[in-house]
Amino acid sequence: MKKLFAIALLVAAGSLLHAAPPAKAAAHPAGAKADVSKMRAVDAVPYFRFENFTTANGLPDNHVFSVLVDRDRVWAGTENGLAVYENGAWKTYTTADGLAHRAVLSLALDKKTGDVWAGTMGGLSRVSGGRIDSFTQLNSGLSNDVVYGVAVDGESVWTATAAGASRLDLKTDRWTLYNERNTPMNEIWVYSVSATPTKVYLAVWGSGLLEYDQKTGRWDKYDDPDGETEMVLFKDQGLIHEIVTSVSYVDNILWAATYFGDSRYDGRYWHNFLTKDSGLPSNFTNVVKGLDANRAWFGTDKGLAYYDGTNWAVYRPSMKDGKPEMTVRDAQGNINPVQVTSAPAHNYVLGIDFQGEDIWVATAKGLSHGIRQHP
Amino acid sequence: MRRFLQRPVIEAISAGVLAASIAAAMITICSERVVQATATKARSGEVLAYASPLEMVFSPDGARLYVLCQGSDEVRVLNGATYKPIKKIAVGRVPRGMSLSSDGRRLLVTNTWDDTVSVIDTRTLAVTATWAVGAEPSGVVQDNAGKFVFVANRISNDVAVLDAATGAEQKRLAAGRGASYITASPDGTRLYVSHIYPNPTRASTALGNRAVPESEITVIDAARATIADRIHLKDIAHGFHIAFSRDGRLGVLAQLHPKNLVPLAHLEHSGAFADTLMLFGADVGNPVEVPLDELERYATRPFAVAISPDKSRIFVTCEGAEFVTVIDVLKLLQFARAHPGSSARDLSASANYVITRVEVGHDPRGMAMTRDGSKLLVANRLDDSISVIDARTNQVIRTVQLESPKTITVLRHGEQAFYTSRYSFQRQIGCANCHIDSTFDGLTWDLEPDGFGRDIVDNRLLEDLDGTEPFKWNGGNPNLPTECGPRTEKYFWRSENYDDLTLTDLVVYVRHLPLRPNRWRQADGSLTPAQERGKVLFDRPIDKFGKPIAEANRCGYCHSGPKGTSQKSFDVGTGKATDNSGLLDTPQLINVGLTVPYLHDGTAKTLEEIWTVYNPQDKHGRTNDLTKDELNDLIEYLRTR
């Protein structure tokens, strides 16, 4: 069944990555213009003017783990509280307001209710209409207090924790735990979760990717087939590495980030990205956010990267002198610098979200708002 | 029938340690009562014959009056002018909330025991659909656009958002604890939800067992069906109906302000509750709390609010006090503006704005005002009657008796005694003040004259108490007659005591409080895999390391029997330095999933905390060898009890 689906998908997508460049990329927030194949790479990728927020202008901490956009509001999960930017000002929620812990690692929006779920170093918090309810391993069914990732699938809240994954059914308040006892999970450090009404994916640090079918309740697992931690024996052989840090499932395409490169899986074929054969600025990737089947954003330790299915763009303060830098790599591997006057606050990128055509980036030294620029 | 009515009396006596002379008198008196009593069926599933009108609403043209009759599981349709009966419409079990669409064509009724909403076509006066919602649906409203139906679910603490056409649930919005009543603003853009239980809050003492009660008004954006705001209500635990002035500038919530953090030494020293209104909206700015009580006359348990169309007066039913408080709005607003915040403890305040108190029947609840504001109708729940008040003269001009049994049964009389405040000093409280709607209140109290801050006690569920004695957290009261009789006479009332007949009827009523459905049990009675695994842990004789668990340290030993109590006392390591006894009565596990907080003094805010935080030495059962998922399984099973 999975195979048939994959074939259908491939037909529909026209083997985008392997055979030909995409015929047309759909218009999308923070994405490239249409028909990138006919454009010069530097014209295809988006430009931004970055405005950076730090403690100097109201952010509670410069170390920003996560960012979430809800229409006009922007939430930042920092090491010292959860901040929300609205009407030009920051407001911070702390443990005094009921937040489970001051360090907010992950954020998710329940689009149905407008509630924001925050995964922290000390539990899971729900921010709803200004009220914060916190769930911990001591006061609820949550599996572990270190909540690296959180996602809402419409009916449930999924958490990726230091001891497996948890699912809170929002109607029954029932918790279900997923760990080495009931899933094919060798390690239990789950770093990220991407949840949809059909499939849920867990990024497991040291144990590959886990797939949960919401209808059947079955688990599937994707591992690095070569079993080698330091090298990739064959290109595109499968998931690039067992240490998976982030997963993003969009348009039936799986994007996975690891500390040793990134992977894309369309249900049949894997495609892997390494610094040596792509525009990735670093193999050490903290976060990946797929825009659609072709396009994705990567947050690495050496900058923010965008891939439009053909071209790559990297946005960062220069690794040499800290000056704003943007480079574009085309399908032939030609790298062109682009003159820019701004860059994200730091090259260590931990979180990414989109606001219309704009992008928001959580970095180790500030939160950045990339305002889309049109020539 | 005769057998049933005799049974409680015999039990009440046999279980007790009352003096023989008193017991003999009660038998005689109660026997006479038994002969008189008729028409009551109780807990075997039959329907009580009493109508017990709870809520009312007029059709838009005023031609009809719809009366929600909780006792007979009906909506009764009366002529809006003559009050003559037109039709009875059977709905689900124990209905509580009712809402008429703005065009008057559709009436929705929540059925608390079925977790459903009955949809009534007002042209045919027939139920056309029944929709599933959350646990114990209470308040219900329909938005003006005809897009959504909103239902407050009292047990699941949320608001279910339904497609108004199909009833299909779209989502659940996180409300406060005990979400019960919903009111739409006059323009229909905002919905306001009130709550009968306090929100979980952080303990304010080092012992971890006391917290200032807090509740909220949850504000919903009706068009988007999302939470728009939460109006924080400090010191409030029990909110009931909300009403708005027609201009939308004044919102009024009827509420109880418990004084549970201070020792409740005697009622004459301090009120146990303030009966208050919370005013909010553009007329007052920040919410203002105003008292309804007077120095020597308490407006016990304000429930429903009505505001006259010209915004000159506010009417409040005070169910325990059995009157309607009439308030001058102009004077009230003058007072509120001059006294921001809360004046709950100022018992002289109400003299500034209360016009009068209109005596009505037993347990007055919902109100309906004619569109011109000339008449106010009050549903007297425990009289099966409607008081018709001339809203200009504040006089009861007529009492409409609904069709109901002529005789007052033991249970009915007991229920009246449970809800009234007439036995307490200055009519301050009734049983129902803490046992909200005959159940519990989610609070801990410093009761008994045992020293300040000693023996803090968590309020428990009253349902299905047979076979769970002794009572009190330390097992100090052997039976219900002692619990409800000498204890309350000595401690609470300091006023008119129950006569023997009333005490017996009260005990019979409490003993026969029916058990609401358990929401965690599957319909076919089977256990889910997680619950099954939890049951094995509950009953296990050996731990995970193969070591035998001492009998007294198995869950199923102390929590034995169908109700989960051996009726004996144990030291489970959760006693406090402020407790006068080291032994704790084993509480029953009936519907234990509902009664947050836990342990005898409410220290544990969740079931999980009982074992994750408060069982370090494994004295409260052997649980420290369990993994987190096993503990979750155990809790899943406990919730089915």
Around B290, how many Cα atoms within 13 Å sit in the side-chain half-sphere?
31
Q: Would the pLDDT of B66 be above 90?
A: yes
Q: Hey, are the CB atoms on B608 and A141 less than 8 Å from each other?
A: yes
Residue A329: pLDDT band by 50, 70, 90 thresholds? very high
d(CA B10, CA B30): 10
Q: Would the pLDDT of B544 be above 50?
A: yes
**Buried (b) or exposed (e) across A265-283, using 16+ Cβ within 10 A?**
bbbeebbbbeeeebbbbbb
Q: Hey, are the CB atoms on A133 and B174 less than 8 Å from each other?
A: yes
Q: Hey, are the CB atoms on B628 and A177 less than 8 Å from each other?
A: yes
Q: Hey, are the CB atoms on A140 and B228 less than 8 Å from each other?
A: no
Residue B426: pLDDT band by 50, 70, 90 thresholds? confident
| Average pLDDT of span B413-418 | 94
Burial of A338 (0-12, 13-18, 19+ CB in 10 A): middle
Q: Tell me what percent of the residues of chain B surpass a pLDDT of 90.
A: 76
Contact B50, B37 (CB under 8 A): no
Q: Hey, are the CB atoms on A174 and B227 less than 8 Å from each other?
A: no
Q: Hey, are the CB atoms on B628 and A130 less than 8 Å from each other?
A: no
d(CA A245, CA B573): 43
SS3 B489: helix
Chain B residues lying within 8 Å of A174, measured CB to CB: 636
Sheet strands side by side (includes A116-120) = A104-109, A116-120, A123-128, A131-135
Which pLDDT score is estimated for A5? 37
Q: Report DSSP state, residue A130.
A: T
SS3 A26: coil
Nearest Cα to Cα of residue B612 among A181, A101, A143: A143
Interface test with A, best of B608, B623, B640 (most A CBs within 10 A): B608
Q: Measured over all CA atoms, what is the biggest interatomic distance in chain B, rounded to whole angstroms?
A: 78
Tell me which residue in B216, B613, B627 faces A131 most closely, judged by beta carbons.
B216
Which pLDDT score is estimated for A219? 96
Which pLDDT score is estimated for A36? 54
Chain B residues lying within 8 Å of A141, measured CB to CB: 608, 628, 632, 635
| Pick from A360-364, B404-408, B412-416: least confident | B404-408
Tell me which residue in B530, B628, B636 faces A137 most closely, judged by beta carbons.
B628
SS3 A12: helix
d(CA B451, CA A333): 82
Chain B residues lying within 8 Å of A72, measured CB to CB: none
d(CA B452, CA A145): 37
Chain A residues lying within 8 Å of B191, measured CB to CB: none
Which pLDDT score is estimated for B16? 32
Which pLDDT score is estimated for B22? 32
| Average pLDDT of span B161-178 | 97
Q: Would the pLDDT of B516 be above 80?
A: yes
Q: Hey, are the CB atoms on A143 and B629 less than 8 Å from each other?
A: yes
Torsion, CA B595, CA B598, CA B604, CA B610, rounded to 10:
-110
Which pLDDT score is estimated for B37? 32
Which pLDDT score is estimated for A30? 65
Q: Strands B569-570 and B457-458, how do they pair?
A: unpaired
Closest-CA residue of B relative to A180 is: B629
Which pLDDT score is estimated for B495? 67
The string of pLDDT tens digits covering residues B190-210 is 999 999 999 988 776 777 778
Q: Would the pLDDT of A140 be above 80?
A: yes
Helices (H), chain A: 2-13, 41-44
The string of pLDDT tens digits covering residues A240-269 is 998 999 999 999 999 999 999 999 999 999
Which pLDDT score is estimated for B451? 77
Chain A residues lying within 8 Å of B172, measured CB to CB: 113, 170-171
Which pLDDT score is estimated for A2? 38
Contact B191, B220 (CB under 8 A): yes
Signed CA dihedral, B237, B419, B268, B291: sign only: positive
Please give the mean pLDDT across all residues of chain A. Answer: 89
Chain B residues lying within 8 Å of A115, measured CB to CB: 174, 227
| Average pLDDT of span B410-433 | 92
Which pLDDT score is estimated for B500? 84
Q: Would the pLDDT of B498 be above 50?
A: yes
- Cα B90 versus chain centre, distance: 23
SS3 B599: coil
Q: Would the pLDDT of A229 be above 90?
A: no
- Reported pTM: 0.89
Residue A11: pLDDT band by 50, 70, 90 thresholds? very low
Q: Would the pLDDT of A280 be above 50?
A: yes
Q: Would the pLDDT of B358 be above 60?
A: yes
Signed CA dihedral, A58, A59, A61, A62: sign only: negative
More confident residue, A26 or A76: A76
Tell me which residue in A112, A131, A171 faces B230 most closely, judged by beta carbons.
A131
Beta-carbon contacts of B381 under 8 Å, excluding residues fewer than 6 positions away, are B52, B53, B54, B70, B319, B362, B363, B364, B365
Q: Would the pLDDT of B119 be above 60?
A: yes
d(CA A166, CA A63): 26
Helix (H) or strand (E) holding A72: none
Amino acid letter, A291: L
Which pLDDT score is estimated for B48? 53
Q: Strands A199-204 and B385-390, how do they pair?
A: unpaired
Structure tokens at B524: 């076919």
d(CA A149, CA B300): 49
Residue B632, min C-alpha distance to chain A (Å): 6
Torsion, CA A281, CA A282, CA A287, CA A289, rounded to 10:
40
More confident residue, A2 or B345: B345
| Average pLDDT of span B131-159 | 96
Signed CA dihedral, B11, B12, B14, B15: sign only: positive
d(CA A219, CA A225): 18
Q: Hey, are the CB atoms on B608 and A115 less than 8 Å from each other?
A: no
Q: Would the pLDDT of B40 be above 50?
A: no
Chain A residues lying within 8 Å of B635, measured CB to CB: 141
Which pLDDT score is estimated for A26? 43
Interface test with A, best of B518, B520, B607, B628 (most A CBs within 10 A): B628
In A156-269, beta strands by DSSP E = 156-161, 164-169, 175-178, 190-195, 199-204, 208-213, 219-222, 244-250, 253-258, 261-265
d(CA B56, CA B416): 21
Q: Strands B323-328 and B354-359, how do they pair?
A: antiparallel
Phi-psi region of B411 (alpha: psi -120 to 50; beta: other; left: phi over 0): alpha
Angle at A298 between CA A295 and CA A299, to 5 degrees: 160
| Average pLDDT of span A340-356 | 97
Please give the mean pLDDT across all residues of chain B. Answer: 89
Which pLDDT score is estimated for A339? 94
Q: Strands B313-318 and B302-307, how do they pair?
A: antiparallel
Tell me which residue in A113, A163, A174 faces B171 most closely, judged by beta carbons.
A113
d(CA A11, CA A149): 33
Tell me which residue in B172, B226, B609 faces A138 most closely, judged by beta carbons.
B609
Nearest Cα to Cα of residue B138 among B122, B126, B120, B150: B150
Residue A142, min C-alpha distance to chain B (Å): 8
State which of A36-40, B30-34, B314-318 shows the largest mean pLDDT: B314-318
Angle at B573 between CA B567 and CA B574, to 5 degrees: 80
Structure tokens at A286: 């903290």
Which pLDDT score is estimated for A235? 80
Contact B55, B97 (CB under 8 A): yes
- Partner residues linked to A147 by β-bridges: A161
Contact B272, B290 (CB under 8 A): no
Which pLDDT score is estimated for B6? 31
Instruction: Please enumerate, as own/partner, the contacts of B535-541 that have beta carbons within 8 Å and a separation of 24 or more.
Output: B535/B637, B537/B626, B537/B630, B537/B633, B537/B634, B537/B637, B538/B634, B538/B637, B538/B638
Chain A residues lying within 8 Å of B608, measured CB to CB: 138-141
| Pick from A178-192, B126-140, B449-463, B598-612: least confident | B449-463
**How much of chain A is helix, strand and coil, in % rounded to 5?**
5, 45, 45
- Partner residues linked to B151 by β-bridges: B140, B160
Closest-CA residue of B relative to A163 is: B628
Interface test with B, best of A117, A140, A176 (most B CBs within 10 A): A140
Residue B485: pLDDT band by 50, 70, 90 thresholds? confident
**φ/ψ (deg, to 5) at B419:** -90, -25
The string of pLDDT tens digits covering residues A30-73 is 654 455 556 788 889 999 999 999 999 999 999 999 999 999 99
Which pLDDT score is estimated for B94? 96
Q: Hey, are the CB atoms on A143 and B216 less than 8 Å from each other?
A: no
Angle at B344 between CA B338 and CA B347, to 5 degrees: 90
Residue B343: C-alpha distances to residues A156, B262, B463 (Å): 43, 18, 35
More confident residue, B34 or B599: B599
Which pLDDT score is estimated for B491? 67
Where do we find the tokens 């008057």? Answer: B104
Which pLDDT score is estimated for B30? 35
More confident residue, B602 or B22: B602
Which pLDDT score is estimated for B407? 86
| Average pLDDT of span A181-203 | 95
ipTM computed for the complex: 0.88
Where do we find the tokens 């299915």? Answer: A309
The string of pLDDT tens digits covering residues B526-541 is 999 999 999 999 999 9
Which pLDDT score is estimated for A236? 84
| Average pLDDT of span A281-301 | 97
| Average pLDDT of span A287-292 | 96
Which pLDDT score is estimated for B180? 97
Torsion, CA B128, CA B132, CA B135, CA B137, rounded to 10:
-30
Residue B92, min C-alpha distance to chain A (Å): 22
Instruction: Tally Cβ neighbours within 10 Å of residue A4.
Output: 9
Q: Would the pLDDT of B38 be above 70?
A: no
Which pLDDT score is estimated for A28? 52
DSSP codes of every residue in B350-399: GGGTEEEEEE--SSEEEEEE-TTSSEEEEEETTTTEEEEEETTTTEEEEE
Q: How many residues does chain B have?
A: 641
Q: Hey, are the CB atoms on B170 and A140 less than 8 Å from each other?
A: no
Contact B568, B586 (CB under 8 A): yes
| Average pLDDT of span A295-317 | 97
The string of pLDDT tens digits covering residues B249-301 is 999 999 999 998 888 777 777 688 999 999 999 999 999 999 999 988 999 99
Residue A221: C-alpha distances to residues A205, A213, B272 (Å): 13, 11, 60
The string of pLDDT tens digits covering residues B90-112 is 999 999 999 999 999 999 999 99
Tell me which residue in B134, B216, B632 faces A175 most closely, judged by beta carbons.
B632
Q: Would the pLDDT of B617 be above 50?
A: yes
Which pLDDT score is estimated for A24? 39
Tell me which residue in B156, B229, B629 faces A179 most closely, judged by beta carbons.
B629
Tell me which residue in B227, B627, B628 faces A114 most closely, judged by beta carbons.
B227
Residue B544, min C-alpha distance to chain A (Å): 15
Q: Hey, are the CB atoms on B606 and A139 less than 8 Å from each other?
A: yes
Which pLDDT score is estimated for B453? 84
Interface test with A, best of B159, B173, B204 (most A CBs within 10 A): B173
Tell me which residue in A130, A143, A174 faces B628 most closely, judged by beta carbons.
A143
Residue B83: pLDDT band by 50, 70, 90 thresholds? very high
